Amino acid sequence: VRWRRNPHVLWRTAPGYLALATVDGRSIEVSGPGGDVWRELTGWVAEEKLAAVLARQYGTGEREVLSDLQSLLHELHAKGYVDRND
Amino acid sequence: MSFTPKAMSIGTTEDRVLVAAARYGLGELEVPIVVNAADAERVLFRARFDHLTGMLATAVLGDVVSADDVFLSALRKQWHDELLTCVRLEALAVRTADLLNAAGINWRITKGAALAHLDYPDPAARTFGDVDMVVHPSDWPQAFRLLSANGYRRDSVTLPGDYDNRYGKGATLTTADGLEVDLHRRFAIGRFGVTSRMESLFASSGTVELAGRALPVLAPEGRLLHACFHATLGGFRALRAFRDVAQLILVTGADWQATYGLARSWRAEAVVVSAIKETWDRLELSADHPAHTRAVATRMSRGDQRALRLFARGSTFFRSQALSALRRLPPYEVPRYLWSLGHARRRRNS
> How many C-beta atoms surround the C-beta of residue B187 within 10 A?
27
Assess contact for B128 and B244: CB atoms under 8 A: no
> A2 in helix, strand or coil?
strand
Residues of chain A whose beta carbon is less than 8 angstroms from a beta carbon of chain B are 7-15, 17, 19-25, 27, 29
Give the relative orientation of helices B239-246 and B13-22 as an angle to the nearest 10 degrees.
Answer: 30
Task: Tell me what percent of the residues of chain B surpass a pLDDT of 70.
Answer: 92
Percentages helix, strand, coil for chain B (3-state, rounded to 5) are 55, 10, 35
**Rounded distance between C-alpha atoms, residue B254 and residue B343, angstroms:** 41
The pairing of strands B65-66 and B33-34 is parallel
Residue B187 has pLDDT above 80, yes or no: yes
Q: Which chain A residues contact residue B87 at CB under 8 A?
A: 10-12, 19-21, 27
Interchain CB distance below 8 Å, A10 and B80: no
Confidence band of B343 (pLDDT split at 50, 70, 90)? confident
Bridge partners (DSSP) of residue A3 are A45, A84
Mutate to test the interface with A, among B84, B109, B175 (most CBs of A within 10 A): B84
Per-residue confidence (pLDDT) for residue A86, from 0 to 100: 84
Per-residue confidence (pLDDT) for residue B316, from 0 to 100: 61
Residue B188 has pLDDT above 60, yes or no: yes
> How many C-beta atoms surround the C-beta of residue B172 within 10 A?
16
Per-residue confidence (pLDDT) for residue B314, from 0 to 100: 66
Q: How far is B63 from chain A (nearest CA, A)?
A: 15
Amino acid identity at A80: G
Task: Count A/B contacts: CB-CB distance under 8 Å.
Answer: 61
**Rounded distance between C-alpha atoms, residue B311 and residue B309, angstroms:** 5
Tens digits of per-residue pLDDT, B122-153? Answer: 999 999 999 999 999 999 999 999 999 999 99
**Rounded distance between C-alpha atoms, residue B323 and residue B340, angstroms:** 11
pLDDT averaged over every residue in chain B: 91
Residue of B79, B94, B210 lying closest to A14 (CB–CB): B79
Per-residue confidence (pLDDT) for residue B287, from 0 to 100: 75
Confidence band of B253 (pLDDT split at 50, 70, 90)? very high
Tens digits of per-residue pLDDT, B297-342? Answer: 999 999 999 999 988 876 567 888 899 999 999 999 999 999 998 8
Q: Which chain A residues contact residue B212 at CB under 8 A?
A: 7-8
**Rounded distance between C-alpha atoms, residue A39 and residue B46, angstroms:** 31
Tens digits of per-residue pLDDT, B5-39? Answer: 333 334 445 488 999 999 999 986 667 899 988 88
**Rounded distance between C-alpha atoms, residue A1 and residue A6, angstroms:** 15
Confidence band of B4 (pLDDT split at 50, 70, 90)? very low
Interchain CB distance below 8 Å, A15 and B88: no
All residues at 6 or more sequence positions from B61 whose CB lies less than 8 Å from its CB, including other chains: A15, B1, B2
**Rounded distance between C-alpha atoms, residue A48 and residue B234, angstroms:** 51
Per-residue confidence (pLDDT) for residue B156, from 0 to 100: 86
ipTM of the complex: 0.95
pTM for this predicted structure: 0.92
Interchain CB distance below 8 Å, A12 and B123: yes
Confidence band of B1 (pLDDT split at 50, 70, 90)? very low
Number of H helices, E strands in chain A: 3, 6
Q: How far is A41 from chain B (nearest CA, A)?
A: 15
Interchain CB distance below 8 Å, A29 and B84: yes
Residue B98 has pLDDT above 90, yes or no: yes
Assess contact for B131 and B89: CB atoms under 8 A: yes
